[in-house]
Amino acid sequence: MIDLNNETAPWADLLAAATANAITDFEVEFCESLRQKLETSGPRARLTEAQHHKLTCIAQAGGFWERAQ
């Protein structure tokens, strides 16, 4: 699990970038679910390694597997 509140990681910026770059329904819903998770869990919110990878891919608009080519 990854601590979303790690002061050295730009979690808010990463989620904002992913939200701005989200194209597919999956990407939009994924970003929304993480935003809700943060609102609900606050300081206890965590990401799995897979969620972190997906969020990073979407934020970088790097052609996540769900994205059309």
> How does pLDDT run across 4-52, given as a tens digit for each residue?
555 444 466 788 899 999 999 999 999 999 989 888 876 677 788 898 8
Residue 54 CA, chain-centre distance (Å), reads 7
Instruction: Count the domains in the chain.
Output: 1
Tokens of 19: 């939200």
In a domain, 68, yes or no: no
In a domain, 2, yes or no: no
Tokens of 49: 């390694």
pTM here is: 0.73
Domain that holds residue 47: 7-59
In a domain, 66, yes or no: no
Q: Give residue 6's pLDDT.
A: 55
Closest CA to 17 of 68, 56, 65, 64: 56
d(CA 38, CA 59): 17
In a domain, 51, yes or no: yes
